[in-house]
Amino acid sequence: MRGPLLGVLFRDGTRGSWPLVRSNLGWILLAGIGIYALYIGFYVLYSRYGASYYTVYAVASILTTSVFLGCFLLKEKFNIYTGLSVLCALASISFFALGTRK
């Protein structure tokens, strides 16, 4: 099993690293697109609603990471811990909605 790219680079040095990068290029690009979407989302929320809505975006990213990425893309089983994280995320969104209600 391969470790993270930086761990491999530190362990093996930079010689022969390009085949590893080439073989994982799809995942590297997917991670870059995800980070880009994260920064765009933070910018839109901050510019339109202020800093308080970071909470909603953070919870939404937790939900999409644990459910979409974990269960659908990586085919992990939906276990009790995933269910508890989804319930806690939904509870925090509910509490946020109650706190911002006028």
pLDDT, tens digit, 9 for 90 and up, residues 35-49: 898 888 878 878 888
Contacts of 75 (CB under 8 A, 6+ apart): none
pLDDT, tens digit, 9 for 90 and up, residues 24-77: 899 889 889 988 988 888 788 788 887 777 777 778 777 777 788 788 888 888
Which band of pLDDT confidence, cut at 50, 70 and 90, is reported for residue 1? very low
Query: H or E segment at 66?
Result: none
pTM: 0.53
- pLDDT at position 26: 92
- pLDDT at position 9: 64
Q: Who wins on pLDDT, 91 or 68?
A: 91
Report the alpha-carbon angle 22-27-28, nearest 5.
70
- pLDDT at position 93: 83
* CB-count burial class (<10 Å; 0-12, 13-18, 19+) for 41: middle
Residues 98/91, Cβ–Cβ less than 8 Å:
no
Dist CA 56 CA 96 (whole Å): 8
Q: What is the CA radius of gyration of the chain?
A: 18
